[in-house]
Chain A
Amino acid sequence: MSIRAFIAFIVLLVVSLALLGYGIKLGLPAKESLDISAMPWGILVPGYVFFASIAVGASIIDSIFTIYGYKGSSNTLREDIKYSTYFSLISLVPAWTLILLDLINPEHGIWLIRGFHDVSRIAWNLVLYTLLAITLLVELVYLIRRTDIDTIKNIKKAELAIAIAVLVSAIALDSNLSQAFGSLVSVPAWYGSHLVAFFLASAVLLGAAGQWLFITIVRGFKGTLRERKDYYSSLAGKMYLTILPIFWLFMFWDIVAAWYHKPTWNYYKELLWGAHAPIFWGIEVVIGLIVPVIASIVALEKRSITAAIVASIALLIAGFTSKYDLLILGQLARLHSEGFMTLIGSGFLAAHNVMHYHPATSEVLILAGAFIEWPMLLLAGILALPLGADEKPRHLYIFK
């Protein structure tokens, strides 16, 4: 495994750095979007929320399993615990990459600390990210240092405490993140506390799918999947069939509530049968609901790993689309409502066609870079860290 994996890692590293580097060189937002007054936030923001949600969701699932002492059939989940913790931690990195590169003046970043603004949700995001990252890191170090294969199967009090800390920070982070949007009274499609529940449900769904996929792939490569095939396929099926209805229930009620609130309804109108409808029905509904539900049932009934993989990938694709719809289309709907287009310049908008968002080249490059950075970092962890249940720390001092 290792030579080929190492080459793969190098390739991913080079490609990722190249994409990010070129994206940065082009500048953000790229020159082709002359003005961003109408659409201040581009595709990197949903990208960032996507990865943050995965990290948060994976942390929540792990923590809940730990807190409730759920070890999986034949301790399967305990065997995977280091992988899953690492996955949660490392998924934060592309999120950071994206949000950092989305800043126009990152050189003033020190003011995030020096000028910490206590009512700003974005300011708190930084704090909560740090908190989550630290708790996850502590958890990972703790798990790696517990070298004994049998003891790892037991949950000690210290681990329980760490898991609770992770859970609390993850929930705090995600709800705060949701309110970075939800507290903006200027965007009707976002405004409100419902976004907290919406974000959490979506994060758990995405975290579950991402984490499950990662572990399945790792086990696939290691050749330890076959013996646990039944368990994994049913785990995926159960998780998805539990969380999907919750997520869609929130969606349903939000649509119903929007019916009585015209500005928000503008957003849903656009989403449900506007120009954007093919994406909503095609991706969010078909790929994000119908396909995973069927695939999950198949995975559960037939113990089919393939079906579970299909469901997971579908959920990730739909999850990203759902973030994109909420954050980009939400801004567009803001333009359509309340005559915003005139405020921002009707003639200008007509001239530059910014009523339809097209990501700039640099945005696409950076997003792609982040998407490649993610498996690259995951692979790096597998190569460098003793994440397997039976692996022991070799090199790094802190793990000894």
Chain B
Amino acid sequence: MTKYSRREFLKLSAAAASAAALAELVPLYKKKPKKILRLEQLRKTSSNITVKKTMCYICGQKCPLKVYVDGYRIVKIVHNTIPGYDDYFATCGRPQTLFEMRFVPERIRKPLIRVGKRGEGKFREITWEEALALLVKKLKEYRPDEIIVFAHKGTEAGLFKEFMKSIVGTPNVTEHCDTCHTGLDISSWFVFGKLMGPGAFRPDYEHAKLVVFMGRNPVEGIVATPWTKSFSVGKEDGLEIIVFDVRETRLTSLAHRYYIIPPGTDLAIGLAIIHVILRDKLYNSEYLVKYTNAPMLIYTDTIEPVGLRDHPSWKGKKDYLVYDEGTGKITWKTTATEPALMWEGEYNGRPVKTVLSLLWDQVKQYTPQWAEGITGVPASEIEYVAKRLANQAPRAFIDTGYKAARYYNEAMFFRVKHIINALIGAIGAKGGIAWPYKPKIPSPFKILGIKGHGPQGEPLYKYWLDQGVVKLVQPKCFSHLALKSLLEGKPKKYKMVIIFNENVVAHSQGSSKAIEALKNAEFVVVIDVAHNETTPWADLVLPITMPFEQDSITLYTPSKVDIGEIGILEKVIDPPPGIDAKPGWWIIAEIGKRIDPANASKYEALEDPRSIWIKQAQLLGINPKELLDKGIVILRSKPIYHPLKGKYLPSVTGEIELISVKALQEFKDYIGKSSLMNPLPVWIPPRWMMTKQKLSANEFIAVDTMDQMTAANMWIRFSRLVVSSLNWRKFDGVLIHKDRARKLGIKDGDLVRIQGPGGEIIAKARLTSTVHPLVILGAHATNPGRRIKLTIESINGGTYEVKLFSWGGGYGTNTNMLASFDTVSLEEGGRANQCDVVVSVEKLKT
């Protein structure tokens, strides 16, 4: 029968098949001959395919890609591999959306100037010449220290920040990480002596035997695809997975065990795990002695190191007194033969004990039974997890992952995770938390010899540090403090705000206050690809190209670079017709020429990125031809497997510090307090637990999550593919536990009003039994708060409207819209507590 139909089939389509070679490629669609012709033409044009080597900048990770382009068609998008090293790279589904995403109707088409009131959304298109003239005029009008710059890492934001800092001279250049990983940075300060973000670590999944995930999901978040790749390689090799989360996810379905816990309570589990490890002496003694300050002697009365001296061989590091079990004497660690880990005694007539003993004293109270009371996870299970971690170590670790701005106690929680990883000897181990190798790429300004006077004046966070409001700050990330300064006019009145590829309103906890802060500025500039929650509040809006529509100004390393990857970000395709967007570097060059005419020729050179790539490559010792041919090269063959990152760490002792020496010096007063600044690990409840003893029937904790298709506040969330993907998975709203929803009379698909202390959103309820009953949960930034519509006068006459979420969607969540402005950890520089907000939920009456 097959034969018969096949023959008929061929006969029928003989007209269509132009060549014998195409015999198998007979169109199965030829209703009208005209269309066959078009199909044939379509096939012929496919010989003009060019292959672009680029990197995906949608979520900022810069994963290497090859994009096959044929005129205006994206033929295909594939991961750009380096044979033999593919475990270190991958690309996810986001760049695949390129062919559709670049047409999102929210794109900014031309430079815009505000014509209505702030927030009214009325703009007029102007020429680039007018726009640049206005921008330069304003830059000259205000003093550099009256300007605040918010710039995300995206595309040329790095150069833009450098330009604003060193050429224009504003000291107030910040990005959004205080709403993202600042909690992790601060936890690292306590353990490694330096603020270190997610890119500073490499979870070595592919060699690990067990990974415990708490507050981290490498599968569904995928804001670090290289790690996801490593995860999947590990999974294939039988990686054991234990998960703690507030909902069931794809990760929990892969997990060997998982526990659904109340939000923000994982710290209790972490403390109990330390308890079990210390109680049963499951730690790696050799490791602790060699690489950590566990044997360091501390005066028990004052909680101070007993003795510090300059390290004999490590420059700038300190050696300390330990109890040498070999000799029975207290001596310097560098001279001791057998430093004791758990020891109590006397020195100079004062009681002393080791750091590890002190730690044990501290966590003695945090029994698994205690943690069970908070989290509901049976004590026996917590014991199991702790023992399993110790058992599989050093090829086991708790993922110290990514975002750490969800709950108030997050920095402490991440510190506890670091301590556990140190106790079992996983830090720096193969199959543990390894260290990446990150090459430094010389800046284009350096290459072109463009120099400025540097920042003029103090950055605004200094003021808040001096006031004692802030104890620790990530100097790159103080967006909350910047808004606070704008709001309060302290330390001075800030007059101009430039927002480059950031979405300040949507990303700031307490969005309504962020809007007020922007209103306090005299002139607000937004430079972005697409309209967002912030653009209505701008005075001047400049369109930049999507990353795929320009050659980047510099070579890049992927954000989660592990083996020194260097790549190019090549232009793939022109912006769609009608989009008069310019690359970020073009804008910088044009401003540069205008404010610094003496160096105009150097800025001119900025408009030739490829020559900059070549010089950068030469300086890095890479063959530029190889780089351009391959699109990506590597400088190392594996990450750094050494507990102290090859040499020694930035901490006072150069070691992993279970209790930070610097913290003991700076934050001693906090000992005994349930505070984030406590040098000792301590239980701190999440904010919601502190404010509410018991939630009433309509109260929930608003939680947002990353999603495999969305990427923070970027334009990709407007894409039809993304909107459809969320709808397909019933994740186009907020997940509510069905038992609780039923009590509130909410049915699946109903619209609900979520009222938080800082504002309200309207969201679509999605009923499920897969979330913890306490939470109401959705994908991050899938709700614009108020429905935003912009009316724009075209330069060619007439007006057009732009609506956010014009392809649908927009009924998910954004907890920033719900939280009040003060829901942050100010002591950590205004680090957000984005998922630590109690909200009330009611069904929207139709």
Contacts and interface: CB of A to CB of B under 8 A. Distances in A.
A350 B1 CA distance: 41
Interface in A351-370: 351
A114 B5 CA distance: 9
Interface string A86-127: 000000000000000000000000000011011100000000
Interface stretch (B44-52, B82-90, B302-310, B727-735): B727-735
A351 B724 CA distance: 11
Interface string B1-37: 1000100100000000000000000000000000000
A348 interface: yes
A348 B5 contact: no
B30 to A, nearest CB: 12
A346 B730 contact: yes
A346 to B, nearest CB: 6
Given A114-B8, A118-B1, A119-B1, A350 B728 contact: no
Interface string A324-360: 0000000000000000000001111011000000000
A115 B5 contact: yes
A119 B727 CA distance: 39
Contacts of B728: 345-348
Nearest to A120: B1
Interface in B712-737: 726-732
Contact of B8 (A115, A119, A350): A115
B1 A117 contact: yes
Interface of A is mostly: helix
A118 B1 CA distance: 8
A336 to B, nearest CB: 16
B727 A348 contact: yes
Contact of B727 (A115, A117, A118, A347): A347
A61 B731 CA distance: 57
B489 interface: no
Nearest to B729: A347
B491 interface: no
Given A114-B8, A115-B8, A347 B730 contact: yes
A108 to B, nearest CB: 9
Given A118-B1, A119-B1, A351 B8 contact: no
B574 interface: no
Interface residues of B, number: 12
Contacts of A114: 8
A348 B731 CA distance: 11
Nearest to B725: A347
Contacts of A118: 1
B1 A351 contact: no
A350 B730 contact: yes
A351 B733 CA distance: 12
A382 B637 CA distance: 92
A347 B724 CA distance: 9
B10 to A, nearest CB: 14
B748 interface: yes
Interface in B730-754: 730-732, 748-749
A114 B7 CA distance: 12
A87 B594 CA distance: 93
Interface string B201-236: 000000000000000000000000000000000000
Nearest to B732: A347
Contacts of B730: 346-347, 350
Contacts of A347: 726-732
A336 B385 CA distance: 39
A350 B729 contact: no
A283 B338 CA distance: 90
A350 B748 contact: yes
A351 B727 contact: yes
Residue among B8, B730, B731, B749 with most chain A CB within 10 A:
B730
A67 B729 CA distance: 61
A395 B256 CA distance: 85
A347 B729 CA distance: 6
A338 B695 CA distance: 38
A114 B731 CA distance: 48
Contacts of A119: 1
Contacts of B748: 350
Nearest to A114: B8
Nearest to A349: B730
Contacts of A115: 5, 8
Interface in B691-717: none
Nearest to B767: A350
Contacts of A117: 1, 5
Nearest to B728: A347
B809 to A, nearest CB: 11
A347 B764 CA distance: 12
B5 A350 contact: no
Q: A114, A117, A118, A347 — which one has the most chain B CB atoms within 10 A of its CB?
A: A347
A117 B4 CA distance: 10
A350 B729 CA distance: 10
A337 to B, nearest CB: 20
Contacts of A348: 727-728
Contacts of B732: 347
B503 to A, nearest CB: 26
A311 B731 CA distance: 52
A119 B8 CA distance: 18
Interface in B367-422: none
B783 to A, nearest CB: 17
Contacts of A351: 727, 749
Nearest to B5: A115
Nearest to A117: B1
A118 B5 CA distance: 12
Nearest to A108: B31
A239 B8 CA distance: 50
A346 B770 CA distance: 15
Nearest to A353: B749
Contacts of B731: 347
A109 to B, nearest CB: 14
Interface string B415-451: 0000000000000000000000000000000000000
Contacts of A346: 728-730
A119 B728 CA distance: 36
A345 B749 CA distance: 15
Contacts of B8: 114-115
Interface in A227-248: none
Nearest to B4: A115
A346 B732 CA distance: 12
Nearest to B730: A347
Nearest to A118: B1
A124 B320 CA distance: 93
Nearest to B808: A351
A269 B569 CA distance: 59
B1 to A, nearest CB: 7
Contacts of B5: 115, 117
Given A114-B8, A350-B730, A350-B748, 4 more contacts: A346-B729, A347-B727, A347-B730, A351-B749
Going nearest first, the 10 A-B pairs with the smallest beta carbon separation are A347-B727, A347-B728, A347-B730, A346-B730, A345-B728, A350-B749, A347-B729, A115-B5, A351-B727, A350-B730
Interface of A: 114-115, 117-119, 345-348, 350-351
9 contacts: A117-B5, A118-B1, A346-B729, A347-B727, A347-B731, A347-B732, A350-B730, A350-B748, A350-B749
Interface of B: 1, 5, 8, 726-732, 748-749
